[in-house]
Amino acid sequence: FQECQTSKNESGVCRYVQHCFLPSILSSLQQFMNNVCIIENRFIGVCCPNFPIQAISIDWQDNQEKFDDQVNTTGECGVGTNTRIVGGSDANNKAWPWMVALMNNKKFYCGGVLINDRYVLTAAHCTFGVKKNEIIARLGDFDLRSDKGEDYKVVEIKRHGQYNRFTLRNDIALLKIQKPVTFNEFTQTVCFPDPTKNYTGRIATLAGWGRLQGGVSPFTSDVLQEVEFPVVTNEECAQTHGLPIPESLICTSAPSKDKSACNGDSGGPLMLLDDENRWKVIGIVSWGRRGCNTKFPSVFTRVTTYMDWIKQHAI
């Protein structure tokens, strides 16, 4: 990235807008225009200061048991039928009963995950450009060509109050559906992670209906896909992307050249299996490089950072 000077005469580098995690610079159109720069003589960017970003810190020791009772109402969260995951394969039709396909005009556009009988967790950027009454949450389905899923209207969008659609900071939202879910073998809730762990080095699984190919391919998968990713440190992620990665995000490194979080996977869950054989959601697909470039780690909203917020709004 080329060096630049911000409007406040601070040293910085010219970055793509979504890669500058500084809402103070992008809080208004005027602030943005004052810091515009050009990347590689072709692309519009923003001059982003070099100083480090303060990580979000929350005390997670208080009322964890109460939180679990409020959010996971079934008592059977995180129980699927998978005993072994094969990266990049079609999913078992009962493997991920908490997966939600968000539909607009009868077309899939984003993923989500069911956390209780009324709320779907997704990415905030999946709620822009669409009205709540235009979103359908499809539950209990793994093949979108079938009519086996159950559709629920979305009656309320609860977007994080500090979400920044330019930087994708705090990229998390809750969708309230019109009526309580009827749980069965195809529809269950996911569990929440241990807030004291960062899961670096663990193997996590992404499930979704995202694009099957990178580049400009318009095709998403009709059948739910699953793939494994190793969780990498934020330092490694930042070094590869060339930008600061705050602790409110979690990154994975693609295991092979043709596997990455891609368009359409947005809002879907990054999950791992705990010692009690229950699946926990540790991340929500947020952003990655253009064209689903697998040379760069995929970036997810870190769920443990926002458990307090979820607890307050998903009831």
Beta strands, E only, 98-224: 99-104, 107-114, 119-122, 135-139, 150-159, 173-177, 203-208
Task: With CA atoms as reference, report the closest residue to 67 among 193, 198, 155.
Answer: 193
The residues, any chain, with a CB within 8 Å of residue 14's CB and separated by 6 or more, are 1, 2, 3, 4, 37, 38, 39, 45, 46, 47, 48
Alpha-carbon gap, residue 192 to 199, rounded angstroms: 13
In the chain, count H helices and then E strands.
Answer: 4, 17
Alpha-carbon gap, residue 311 to 66, rounded angstroms: 9
Give yes or no: 313 in active site: no
User: Please, what is the end-to-end C-alpha distance for the chain in angstroms?
Assistant: 44
Q: Which of 19, 141, 160, 171 does the annotation list as catalytic?
A: 171
Q: Which of 19, 125, 160, 241 does the annotation list as catalytic?
A: 125
Alpha-helical (H) ranges within the chain are: 29-34, 64-71, 234-241, 307-313
Q: Which of 248, 253, 260, 266 does the annotation list as catalytic?
A: 266
Give yes or no: 266 in active site: yes
The catalytic site residues sit at: 125, 171, 266
